[in-house]
């Protein structure tokens, strides 16, 4: 896909509400988020997003940067230390302004 086509698709996702602006980083760049509505509005985007998150979390796990705990219903809880938080920020998994003390 060409850059112009990618931008048009990105703009379309924003227009339909599948992607929203959630803030601005320290460099003045917009921070975007894939919305829950993307599940219905743009299922291909939602699926790509889930695949990216799964792959990124596996990368963090393989680097021992994330700890996974399961509750009685086998629902996972992920815990990140300082290095894990920084890596997750770089991968776009968590908002840039999170600190170690804030919940994920």
C-alpha 1, offset from chain centre: 22
| pLDDT for the residue 104 | 41
Find the Cα–Cα–Cα–Cα dihedral 34, 31, 12, 104, rounded to 10°. Answer: 0
What's the pLDDT score for residue 100?
A: 41
Give me the residues of the chain with pLDDT under 50, please. Answer: 98-104
What confidence score (pLDDT) does residue 95 get? 63
pLDDT recorded at residue 78: 82
């Amino acid at each position: 896909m060409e850059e112009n086509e990618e931008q048009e698709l990105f703009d379309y996702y924003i227009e339909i509400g599948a992607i929203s602006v959630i803030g601005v980083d320290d460099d003045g760049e917009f921070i975007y988020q894939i919305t829950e509505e993307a599940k219905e509005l743009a299922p291909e985007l939602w699926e790509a997003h889930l695949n990216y998150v799964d792959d990124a979390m596996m990368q963090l796990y393989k680097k021992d940067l994330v700890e996974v705990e399961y509750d009685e219903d086998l629902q996972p809880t992920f815990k990140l230390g300082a290095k894990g938080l920084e890596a997750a920020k770089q991968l776009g998994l968590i908002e840039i302004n999170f600190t170690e003390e804030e919940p994920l």
